[in-house]
Structure 1
Amino acid sequence: MHILFLTDNFPPEGNAPATRTYEHAREWVKKGHKVTVITCAPNFPEGRVFDGYKNKWISKETIDGIEAWRVKTYITANEGFLKRTLDFVSFMLSSFLFGLFSKKVDVVIGTSPQFFTVISAWALAKLKRVPFIFELRDIWPASITAVGAMKKSKIISTLERIEMFLYRQADLIISVTHSFKEELIERGVDGNKIEVVLNGVDLSMYQPTECKNSEFASKYNLEGKFVAGYIGTHGLAHALDKIVEAASLLRDDDDIRIIFAGGGADRPRIEKLVSESGLTNIVMIPRQPKEKMPALWSLCDVSLVHLKDTPLFETVIPSKIFESMGMGLPIIISAPLGEATEIINSADCGIVSPPENSNELAAAIRSIKAHGVTEYAQKSINAAKQYDRRVLANKMLGYIFATKKHTG
């Protein structure tokens, strides 16, 4: 089977969409299938093309057997609605154009969060007369208004109509959460064509370690410190200023350090806030290459998962939960009660803290430091087995096969 997969993000980018697509496609190739990924020059989240790459009309490379076609797009940082939309639209157009040259395709998959990529996948599937699969990673454009990037308007209403059109047109929808499936059914989408494949973790890469990576620990003066780490995208959805406030409450305990590692639209604001606060217990670490992520995670004694207090985020599951489990870390999740918090509660691998509440967050960090690391860590390790990416990739492949057989 030849799978044509359209995604804005792909390694060497290390965000959740890039990682999920790569790890799924890698497993499909191992099963003997051909996978062509159409993506763009790696640039997320700073909007700068990574070293060794150029924003050319098209370039091709093979990554672990996956054929990656990189097409030219308008590149901008992950900030500003208009510029980001131009970025999305340019990828929609160029991915469609060059996707026409892919041969003997059996199925076309387009992944969100934003759905301009999915429009291109839909059009290519129609022209090639093959099944169209929508991988749903976010309820977009609702997430735009949830983070305050835009208010409800005619533009948002138009995007919502396009969104519903794509749901109806899809032969199969792969949702990354059960909550998304439930919401789509409530909005009138046929539940029989919606399957759920959660995010997961590559357990061959993310494993518990007995000591912190010496290079990072020495560079950032973290030897002998209890480290609570926020690792991942610094976006508008994450209310990271509340973690800074929690750090302020913990400043008298010199054994505790808070690290921020990654990049994103909100990173400059957080850096400025940390600088102005004068706090010495916060360590800012720039975004790291994907291959160094396990070493970065090894610095942490507890993982921080943080989201804004808005109803939409009751339905999302941050992928850093699963990487934290793979590393055997206790987890403090500060988020609206929902699917993500239920995962932590069910596994009993950490503490659920009220969203955007710096006092409770600081208390949770103190609690785990005092008596919770070993017990929570073991339960985190046990829970990770449920989210092995290899198993989930094969689960998704089974759904693709069934859809191809049903529509073919």
Structure 2
Amino acid sequence: MITALPNYPTGMVFEGFRGRLRVEEQLEGVRVIRTWLKPSNSAQPFPRLVSYLTFVASSLLLGVRGTGRRDIVFIESPPLFLVLAGLLMGRMAKACIVMNVSDIWPETAVRAGLEMRGVPLRLLERLERLGYEKSDLVTATTQKASDSIASRFPKVATAVIPGGTDLELFRPERRSEDLRRSLGIGEADHLVGYCGLHGLFQGLETVIGAAEKLRNDPRIKFVLAGDGPTKRTLVEVATAARLDNVVFMDPMPREQVGELVASFDVALAPLAAELPGTMPSKVYETLACGVPLVVTEGSEAARLVTDHALGRVVGPLDVDALAGAIADLLDEPAEVNRIRRDARRMAQRYDLDEVARGAEATFLELVGDTVGAPRTY
């Protein structure tokens, strides 16, 4: 695996990696090569562009050395700029190329309201086309996203590799009353939580607005855990509004995230716009913990929640609807208990071990090997 020096989501290279150009390590039997970049978690486009391009350059100049021949080069998108490095690595390694699309860019960015037009937009569209057309296989995390790609690029081979979750790490039994008490949650109180990136596409200002709407209900407390380019602004807004029902938490090790999510009474997975084909990864973790969801309409998360009655769906950036959905769910304890049971059962479909086995079968079929596992980076 070739990746950047660890800096997500704070935008600062982690302690122990600072001042390094290239770091190689073994993680759970996987060779990981980390290369330098100019990190940023800025909401402004130029610092983010610099961050992307410095990693593209360093991954080619420093990352490929000594990797040898590969059967598959796996490109993660977004960011689309990785297409440049991935395609070159694929040709150098004489490998099959798989482009995995977590979000369809630049369409998702435009829908979410990013200022993108003219030359920058055309450049991203050309990178998108280049990545799809030069890849041997394009994978997406949802059927909707895969169908969208196939409809625009009918000659491109596509497949679905859904997201998944660790059902042992994320489970209802990890609910912690000690953790809830540390957040000021009493026995009769309700904890509404968000855990993940505080980014441009999440629309978390709506969560702060909903907390302000519900500030007079002493039972309801909000916690937002994580970091990202919008966190500072969110903290400033909540502080200015004197919201004593909102707690911000720093990023935490993944092992602790399961305990936090399981301790929610309602979990939020908001988006700043209707983003067809998008399934926030936190949805799988929330299901595994048996927690009711409030999600944004126009996404695959909304379809899942609606079809299986696992919570509420609200419009993007609709503060009143979000506050109403939270209050409505918490006023229906029988429904919440039913959702807890159904959500955990639904999560069995997204067992990470099963997802991995499906992905392996897809890769083996691609390289025409039915015996050994393909060599991938």
SS at match of 1:151: coil
Instruction: Work out which of the residue numbers 350, 367, 374 in structure 1 matches 2:328.
Output: 367
2:215 partner SS: coil
Query: Following the alignment from structure 1 to structure 2, what is the Cα–Cα distance between the partners of residues 173 and 53?
Result: 33
Match of 1:143 in 2: 108
Q: In the alignment, what sits opposite 1:32?
A: none
- Mapping of 1:90-129 within 5 angstroms? 90-97=54-61, 98-129=63-94
Cα gap change, 1:377 to 1:263, in 2 (>3 Å): same
In the other structure, the counterpart of 1:346 is: 307
Structure 2: distance between partners of 1:77 and 1:360:
30
Q: Letter of the 1:349 partner, please give it.
A: L
Number of the residue aligned with 1:42: 6
The 5 Å alignment of 1:165-204 reads 165-190=130-155, 193-204=157-168
Q: CA deviation at 1:118?
A: 2.5
Distance verdict in 2 for CA 1:148–1:127, change over 3 Å: same
- Residue of structure 1 equivalent to 2:345: 382
Alignment match, 2:53: 89
Q: How does 1:313-324 map to 2 (within 5 A)?
A: 313-324=275-286
* Within-5 A mapping of 1:255-266: 255-266=219-230
Aligned-residue sequence identity (percent) comes to 24
Alignment of structure 1 residues 285-364 onto 2, 5 Å: 285-310=249-274, 313-333=275-295, 335-364=296-325
Give CA-to-partner distance per residue, 1:324-348, whole Å, 9 cap, x none. 0111111111x13342211112222
| Residue type at the aligned position of 2:35 | V
Which residue matches 1:284? 248
How far residue 299 of structure 1 moved from its aligned partner, in angstroms, is: 2.7
**Do the aligned residues in 1 keep the contact of 2:171 with 2:262 (CA within 8 Å)?**
no
Q: Secondary structure at the match of 1:209?
A: helix
What amino acid does structure 2 have at the position aligned with 1:217? R
Choose which of 41, 44, 52 in structure 2 pairs with 1:80: 44
SS in 2 for 1:394: helix
1:344-399: CA deviations, max 9, x gaps?
12222111222222222222212221223201111111100011111111111111
Task: Give, in whole Å, the separation in 2 of the partners of 1:337 and 1:175.
Answer: 17
Aligned CA RMSD, in angstroms, stands at 1.8
| TM-score of the pair, normalised by structure 2 | 0.92
How far is the alpha carbon of 1:181 from its aligned partner? 1.4
Structure 1 window deviating more from structure 2 (270-279 vs 353-362): it is 353-362
Distance of 2:140 and 2:154 partners within structure 1: 13
TM-score (norm 1): 0.85
Report deviation, 1:102. 0.2
Q: Matches of residues 216-255 of structure 1 in structure 2 within 5 Å?
A: 216-224=179-187, 225-255=189-219
The 3 A distance-change label for structure 1 pair 268 and 189 is: farther
Does structure 1 conserve the Cα–Cα contact (< 8 Å) formed by 2:69 and 2:94?
no
Query: Distance between the aligned counterparts of 2:276 and 2:192, measured in 1?
Result: 23
Contact 2:104–2:145 (CA<8 Å) still a contact in 1?
yes
- Structure 1 residue runs without a partner (length 5+): 1-36
Query: Does the 8 Å contact 2:175/2:259 carry over to 1?
Result: no
Counterpart check, 1:159 vs 2:159: no
Following superposition, the deviation at residue 81 of structure 1 comes to 1.1
Cα distance, 1:229 vs structure 2? 0.5
1:133 is displaced (CA, Å) by: 0.8
Distance in 2 (alpha carbons) for counterparts of 1:206 and 1:53? 29
Instruction: Tell me, in whole angstroms, the C-alpha distance in 1 between the residues paired with 2:137 and 2:120.
Output: 27
Q: 1:213, CA displacement in angstroms?
A: 5.0
Tell me the distance in 2 between the aligned counterparts of 1:266 and 1:277: 17
CA distance in 2 between counterparts of 1:402 and 1:392 reads: 16
Instruction: Provide the secondary structure at the position in 2 that maps to 1:140.
Output: coil
Q: Deviations over 1:153-212 (max 9, x none)?
A: 112102211210110000011111222212212212425x10011111111211112642
User: For structure 2, which runs of at least 5 residues remain unmatched after alignment?
Assistant: none
Contact 2:43 2:200 in 1 (8 A): no
**Quick check: 2:70–2:94 contact (8 Å CA) kept in 1?**
no
